Structure 1
Amino acid sequence: MSYRGITYRLILGTKAGARQRACLIGTYRYVWKLVAIIALIGSVGALGMRVGPRLEGPSPEDAQGIQDPSEVLKPRLTIPSMRLAIPVLNPGIPKSTEKQENEGIWPELRNAEAVRIAFKMKDWITRYNQFDSIIVSADVSVSADLFLVARIVQSNSEVMSLAYQIVDARGVIWSEERTKTYRAEAGWHERYGKTDKDPFDPLYQEIAEEVYRELANKSSSHINQLKRNEFVGPRLSRRSDLELITITRDLAFAKYVSPEYHDCLKNDGNRLKIEYMPEFTSESWSRIMSVMTREEDFVRVIEKYYREFVTKIEPDYRTWQQDAFPIARKLRIEEDKREVLTEINNLGSRLHTTITPTRVDVNGKVVTLTGSVQSQFAAWRSMIIDIYEASKSSNAVKIISADP
């Protein structure tokens, strides 16, 4: 699987006096160096337009959707069952430490934001009620119908700018990269700081709205194709783009797992095209579906690590947001700032090198996966073909999230 590397430049958003800026940089470089935990997010440096293979079935959490009907912003479109993946954002950190300092970028803080923003976008898109499942993933190698691939252009607690694209499982880019920027209102923290709102909710909602509009356009074409199929009959009927996307994600997974399906898809540059439809009622296809379900379980374990990370840093991150807005405001005393972020340092020291091991039971043989999120996922991927060979029944493989 190939990926196109993307290099980005960030812009320093706010101007401050030389003395204040020096104080700000010195203080924050010291304290946010404590966020070593972000080693588990190492995959965000390279995102690609080749996206891969699908997972099967929504989790109970996502299938339930939003519990409060008043929070559902749109009625459900006429579309197939679909999954959206939101890879952890590219943090847009220059390689040069000199550029980082000149642009006011603290790498550890940016890496933390790359995870946090992915979940913020997930929460807002969930409210639009269109996908059976939305997952935050380490990169674009997971299975999904659509991918929201984004990067941080600017973020300084007052201004946030995000660039993003929507890509489907075939590798088709739905729109050229778009950039949206939002400036938080003066006095926002005084009015809403003690609520669960975020100063950049309008930005996240705007992106969610755009995802909805793109999907609505595809839904119209899908409905028209269904009507044409009814008119011409089964022999001349054709599949809509949305149906081809969902089939492609299944076939991409099957091609990865089993040689039997190696020629079901054709690589055409960065795009995948269906060569033929396999027999979806065969025993081998049922085994493919079984492995997909186990992959879904594993990806949920990975997402859980990210969610727990965001939950743990949230209080300290919100404190940083408030204290750094506006950037020219007098900083709190340095000791207070250090005390606030010591919690993140303590967390980072525990999770920097390893996360909770994941155990995989394959026909009674237990394999323990250790290391970072990326190393665990890579180890899992290396086991996929063996898991397929062992999957004579749906119970052949079990995911156990932690060692006893």
Structure 2
Amino acid sequence: MLQLLSHLNQYIIKVISVSLLIFFGGIAAAQDFDLDKRVKKQNATPTVTNTRLNYANTDHLPKLDVIVPVFDPNIPKKDKDNVWPEVRRAEANRFAWMMKQALEKSQAFGAVRVTPNDSGFGEIYVHGKILRANGEDIRLEITVNDIRGKKKTWIKNKKFKYRVQESFHKSPRTQGTDSYAPIFDMIAQEIVKKLAKKKAKDLNKLPAITEMRFANMFGSEYFGKYIKEKRGSYKLVGLPDESDQVYAKIRSMRIQEQLFVDQLQPHYEDFSARMNPHYFAWQKHALPIAKERRKQKRAAILGTIAAIGGTVVAATSDNRTVQTVGVAAAVGGGLVAFKKFGDAKASASVLDEMGSTLNLDMGVQVVEFEGIQTKLEGDAIDQFVGYRGHLLKIYESEYTPDVQL
């Protein structure tokens, strides 16, 4: 009898494990049902447990410039998990700005700049992808590489997660702050930790590689001999003489581009500041909905386990139906509440408008350098590309020989 009960308990444990995997993983191949592998993968995902900051020591290392491209909003083609596309696009800009602030707080880097895409020039690149941001849970995928190319990866597709507690929105100490802020501090700590393990002699080479890659973009026929590219990796071969006039011009042009990117920063800051009250309202409203959906999913799993357990756990087909209907009602209720929030709250319409496009709208401006003027129009990417064209005109006007037809 005891042996029978032992076998029965083992069977129930296997049923529970498989049920959990099916529920969270969907239909998968047989090899995917490796519980040990799943547990290891889950344990490998860092989770924020506190907000105390403890950065690794990097005082002996150079202060390198960082580029933080606007995050990948990761908007699914089909409606999934209540992803609000407009909010996601707004978050893509907001999260890049929050990442910049977290990195600056560490004081381990030089200039940290948000850019519309990854074509900006700096020594370190921090790429982010939004996996989930539902008010309660936030999950981000982070990749960090340096100017030597994407193969020189410091952090590759690493997932970070954080769960917001309802008490956050009730505490007067957290009023006017973003409930997701701790995850960006955690990511910054991880990046600084990776930085601290680098050798100063290797890091000291990166600014020169940045400079030569920038120069090669404008004059590959002139600067190509100083840098070598192989399968997406870049290696410095040499540098022009300090008295080289073309080299001096490129340096001047690079400073001009840095100043232009610096002028973009207030736009991202203003976007985030204008978004604050509306986004905080959305976070506060979305959290209980996300929490209820999570609880109903768990209840559905327990209902399925109870149904499979048969005589061990008293459950009938009616109970299964109740559980299935329960989770459907919860998800549907969340959608209804979400829609009601969108219809009733002024904040929702503001977020809709702010997230109508991934790229920030910018006013028309006229830039001038070396006596050449260029009118820039459109969004952040349009103007970024336009400014590159402006610099190219300057380079070509001085260092590209006229072609006689």
Secondary structure of the residue aligned to 1:154 is strand
Higher helix share: 2
Q: Is the contact between residue 89 and residue 114 of structure 1 (CA under 8 Å) also seen in structure 2?
A: yes
Q: What secondary structure does 1:280 align onto?
A: coil
> 1:255·1:263 contact (CA, 8 Å) conserved in 2?
no
For 2:262 and 2:398, how far apart are their aligned partners in 1? Answer: 20
Residue of structure 2 aligned with 1:213, choices 165, 183, 193: 193
Q: 2: CA distance between counterparts of 1:265 and 1:243?
A: 16
Moved more, 296-305 or 350-359: 350-359
Distance, in Å, in 1 between the alignment partners of 2:359 and 2:130 is 23
Contact 1:359 1:369 in 2 (8 A): yes
For 1:84, the equivalent position in structure 2 comes to: 66
- 1:150 corresponds to 2:128: yes
Judge conservation of contact 2:74–2:129 (CA < 8 Å) in 1.
yes
Which string of whole-angstrom CA distances, capped at 9 and with x for unpartnered residues, describes residues 36-92 of structure 1?
Answer: xxxxxxxxxxxxxxxxxxxxxxxxxxxxxxxxxx99966652122310111111111
Identity of aligned residues (%): 25
Residue in 1 that maps onto 2:157: 177
Question: Is the CA contact 1:256–1:262 (under 8 Å) kept in the aligned structure 2?
Answer: no
1:72–1:129 Cα contact (<8 Å) kept: no
Aligned residue for 2:297? none
Give distance in 2, aligned partners of 1:350 and 1:273: 37
Matching residue of 1:253: 214
CA 327–73 in structure 1, closer or farther in 2 if over 3 Å, else same: same
Measured after TM superposition, the shift of residue 324 of structure 1 is 1.0
Larger Rg: 2
Cα 1:304–1:251 shift into 2, 3 Å: same
Separation (CA, whole Å) in 2 of partners of 1:264 and 1:111: 39
Q: Which residue does 2:380 correspond to in 1?
A: 373
Match of residue 344 from structure 2: 337
The alpha-carbon deviation at position 103 of structure 1 amounts to: 2.4
Q: Which residue of 1 aligns with 2:368?
A: 361
User: Where does the alignment leave 5 or more consecutive residues of structure 1 unmatched?
Assistant: 1-11, 14-69, 223-239, 393-404
SS in 1 for 2:189: helix
| 1:309-320 matches, cutoff 5 A | 309-320=271-282
Alignment partner, residue 267 of structure 1: 229
Query: Taking CA–CA contacts closer than 8 Å with sequence separation of 6 or more, which of the two structures ends up with the larger relative contact order?
Result: 1
Taking a change above 3 Å as real, the CA distance of residues 282 and 352 of structure 1, as seen in their structure-2 partners, is: closer
**Per-residue displacement from partner, 1:284-333 (whole Å, max 9, x unpaired)?**
22211110111011112233322221111111011100111111679596
What does 1:216-295 correspond to in 2, within 5 Å? 216-218=196-198, 221-222=199-200, 240-258=201-219, 259-295=221-257
Paired residue for 1:303, among 259, 265, 282? 265
Q: 2:168 aligns with which of 166, 180, 188?
A: 188
Of 94, 118, 137, which residue of structure 2 is paired with 1:140? Answer: 118
Structure 2 unaligned blocks of 5 or more: 1-22, 25-51, 293-333, 400-405
Distance 1:188 1:292, change over 3 A: same
Aligned pairs, number: 302
Q: Is the CA contact (8 Å cut-off) linking 1:74 and 1:129 kept in structure 2?
A: no
1:102 aligned counterpart, secondary structure = coil
**Structure 1 pair 257/81, CA: closer, same or farther in 2 (3 Å)?**
farther
**2:171 match: secondary structure:** helix
Query: What letter matches 1:374 in structure 2?
Result: I
Please give the root-mean-square deviation of Cα atoms over the aligned residues, in Å.
3.0
- Is contact 1:291-1:391 (8 Å) kept? no
Amino acid at match of 1:272: Y
Conserved 8 A contact 2:124-2:145: yes
**1:90/1:114 contact within 8 Å kept:** yes
The answer as to whether partners of 1:89 and 1:115 remain within 8 angstroms in 2 is yes
The alpha-carbon distance between structure 1 residues 277 and 348, as it changes in their structure 2 partners (threshold 3 A), is closer
C-alpha change, 1:241 and 1:75, in structure 2 (3 Å) is closer
Contact 1:255 1:261 in 2 (8 A): yes
Tell me, in whole angstroms, the C-alpha distance in 1 between the residues paired with 2:157 and 2:355.
33
Q: TM-score normalized by structure 2?
A: 0.68
Deviation per CA, 1:236-263: give whole Å up to 9, x if none: xxxx211222211011011112232122
Residue 116 of structure 1 pairs with residue 94 of structure 2 = yes
The answer to whether the 8 A contact 1:287-1:391 is kept is no
Q: What's the secondary structure of 2:102's corresponding residue?
A: helix
The yes-or-no answer on 1:167 pairing with 2:145 is: yes
Contact 2:73–2:91 under 8 Å retained in 1: yes
Answer whether contact 1:71 1:127 (CA < 8 A) is retained. no
